[in-house]
């Protein structure tokens, strides 16, 4: 490409400036903070609409801020340059420059262009701040030499992935889980003493209290929470300091430990340096393992949402054992119809997460030699899963679960019509005789009491003494 000036996308003003990198000159929109390498990626990858996630942009800003502080601690970077990088990074973290990160997911598999996008934005914005402060040097920050000091795209992108993943799980997903679990705990207390028929294989089973059934939903959430936390020790191990291939070339001794300490201080999470940078650069199993817990939560939410919509089915021709909030009309043709739309949204999100898990697993298996070059798609799918699940759980809690009400009369009616109540007679008449009672009652459309008395297996008084469905839970 030499010195040829490339044309970029049209700008609102039509104004351009010329930026240079190792391959020559590039025309960049005059008001953009990015530079030549970002512009090349912007032009060379017109693929899809999926932008690099905002969580990755924020994580990169944290990484660059931590790296500047660590480099200053180790005597590699001056305080003035450190402060400029940190100030520019803070603006990125505050969302002041979101438009300056235009790159799509479908770029180089190492995320090099996104690393350079951040380097260029921080350098250009830092230089603007320097000019405003009357700095002696006209452009004190260089994207590669200053902002990217002691780093490589190969160790910054996996680090940003881990930082973004850990922050998303702790900052978004766990709070959503906790809120829904708290709602279920409240419903357990409110529904104490309500007994209903249990169901297995979608068939009638022995009784269960509604509070016990709800406690099962709460337990699913609590176990998923434990599994997500069990994956955190691997997520907080960082590749930063490995530079290009894991040897730490061009990074000062102690940089890896120092930058992990800085990230821990900035985020409040216990980040540490990975003791094996060769594994950290190429292996993505930590994200696979963590997303497995995310998928497990999606599977549990699928079960909970399906239970709720089954129990609310009807209102007259289904189970109809609970009422859920009516949020919007359910049909454009059937007046008065209301559908379990929050449940449907949760189940669709669960399906998406399961698909994302397959993509992450395939991508993680593609590490070759010293690097995995499927990192952007791993990051995109992981963060989409966490974001969608967090949103879906919060919406389900607010617009469905928090308004669940038991229909006590329907529960009692179904309970006393259940043939599986015959199970309580096993100790008195035996399994085979109890089966005869159930089959006779079913065939003749009578009650268990009538069938049992007709077969002469128990007296009426003894039947009434031992047949107490509410005590079977």
Where residue 195 falls (left for φ over 0; alpha for ψ -120 to 50; beta otherwise) is beta
Annotation says 97 is catalytic: no
Q: How confident is the model at residue 14 (pLDDT cuts 50, 70, 90)?
A: low
**C-alpha span between 35 and 41 (Å, rounded):** 10
**Phi, psi for residue 45 in degrees, rounded to 5:** -130, 65
**Averaged pLDDT for residues 81-91:** 98
Kindly state the average pLDDT of the residues 452-457: 97
Predicted TM-score (pTM) of the model is 0.94
Task: For residue 138, say if its preceding peptide bond is cis, omega within 30 degrees of 0.
Answer: no
Distance of alpha carbon 180 from alpha carbon 23, whole angstroms: 53
Instruction: Give the model's confidence band at 139: pLDDT under 50 very low, under 70 low, under 90 confident, else very high.
Output: confident
* Per-residue pLDDT band at 376 (split at 50, 70, 90): very high
Q: Is 22 an annotated catalytic residue?
A: no
CA–CA distance, 184 with 217 (Å, rounded to integer): 7
In sequence order, what E strands does 261-356 have?
A: 272-273, 322-323
Angle at 369 between CA 364 and CA 371, to 5 degrees: 55
Position 265 pLDDT exceeds 90: yes
Q: Which residue has the tokens 């709070």?
A: 175
Does residue 39 contact residue 76 with C-beta atoms inside 8 Å? no
Diameter of the chain measured on Cα atoms:
105
- The answer to whether the beta carbons of residues 308 and 366 sit under 8 Å apart is no
**pLDDT tens digits, one per residue of 158-181:** 999 999 999 999 999 999 999 999
* Cβ 54 vs Cβ 384: under 8 Å: no
What is residue 138's predicted lDDT score, i.e. its pLDDT? 76
* pLDDT reading at 65 higher than 80: yes
Number of Cβ atoms within 10 Å of the Cβ of 203: 9
Q: Is the pLDDT of residue 5 over 50?
A: no
Active-site entry in 22, 42, 291, 331: 331
Q: What is the pLDDT of residues 304-345, one digit of tens each?
A: 999 999 999 998 999 999 999 999 999 999 999 999 999 999
Other beta carbons within 10 Å of 133? 11
Of 153, 201, 402, 416, which one is the catalytic site residue? 201
- Report phi then psi at 368, rounded to 5: -120, 125
> How confident is the model over 364-373, as pLDDT tens digits?
999 999 999 9
Tell me, what's the pLDDT at 136?
Answer: 73
Q: What residues pair up with 199 in beta bridges, in sequence order? A: 204
- Alpha helices by DSSP H, 94-240: 112-132, 153-168, 174-190, 210-230, 232-235
d(CA 338, CA 215): 27
CB 130 within 8 Å of CB 88: no
Q: What average pLDDT does range 266-285 have in this prediction? A: 98
State mean pLDDT over 5-9: 37
Question: Could you tell me the pLDDT band of residue 276, with boundaries at 50, 70 and 90?
Answer: very high
């Amino acid at each position: 490409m030499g010195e040829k000036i490339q044309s970029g996308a049209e700008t609102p003003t039509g104004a351009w400036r010329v930026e240079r990198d190792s391959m020559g000159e590039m025309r960049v929109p005059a008001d953009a903070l990015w530079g030549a390498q970002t512009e090349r990626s912007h032009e060379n990858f017109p693929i899809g609409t999926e932008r690099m996630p905002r969580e990755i942009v924020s994580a990169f800003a944290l990484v660059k801020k931590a790296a500047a502080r660590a480099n200053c601690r180790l005597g590699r970077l001056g305080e003035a340059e450190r402060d400029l990088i940190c100030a520019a990074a803070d603006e990125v973290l505050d969302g002041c420059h979101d438009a300056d990160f235009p790159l799509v997911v479908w770029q180089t598999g190492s995320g090099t262009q996104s690393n350079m996008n951040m380097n260029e934005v921080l350098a250009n914005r830092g230089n603007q701040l320097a000019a405003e402060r009357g700095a002696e040097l006209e452009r004190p920050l260089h994207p590669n030499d200053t902002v990217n000091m002691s780093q490589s795209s190969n160790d910054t992108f996996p680090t940003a992935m881990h930082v973004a993943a850990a922050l998303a799980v702790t900052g978004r997903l766990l709070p959503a889980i906790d809120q829904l679990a708290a709602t279920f705990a409240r419903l357990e207390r409110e529904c104490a003493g309500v007994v209903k028929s249990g169901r297995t294989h979608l068939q009638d089973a022995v009784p269960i209290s509604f509070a016990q059934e709800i406690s099962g939903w709460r337990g699913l959430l609590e176990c998923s929470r434990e599994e997500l936390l069990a994956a955190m020790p691997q997520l907080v191990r960082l590749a930063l300091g490995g530079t290009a291939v894991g040897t730490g070339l061009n990074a000062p001794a102690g940089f890896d430990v120092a930058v992990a300490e800085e990230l821990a201080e900035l985020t409040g999470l216990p980040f540490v340096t990975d003791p094996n940078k060769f594994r950290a650069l190429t292996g993505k199993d930590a994200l696979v393992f963590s997303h497995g817990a995310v998928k497990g939560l999606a599977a549990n939410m699928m079960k909970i949402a399906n239970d709720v919509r089954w129990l609310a089915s009807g209102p007259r021709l289904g189970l109809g054992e609970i009422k859920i909030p009516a949020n919007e009309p359910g049909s454009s043709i059937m007046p008065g119809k209301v559908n379990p739309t929050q449940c449907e949204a949760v189940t669709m999100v669960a399906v998406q997460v399961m698909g994302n898990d397959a993509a992450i697993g395939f991508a993680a298996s593609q590490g070759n030699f010293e690097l995995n070059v499927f990192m952007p798609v791993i990051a995109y799918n992981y963060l989409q899963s966490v974001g969608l699940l967090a949103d879906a759980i919060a919406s389900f809690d607010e617009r469905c679960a928090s308004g669940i009400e038991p229909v006590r009369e329907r529960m009692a009616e179904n309970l006393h019509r259940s043939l599986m109540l015959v199970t309580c007679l096993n100790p008195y008449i035996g399994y085979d005789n109890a089966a005869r009672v159930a089959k006779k009652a079913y065939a003749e459309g009578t009650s268990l009491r009538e069938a049992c008395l007709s077969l002469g297996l128990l007296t009426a008084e003894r039947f009434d003494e031992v047949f107490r469905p509410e005590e079977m839970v």
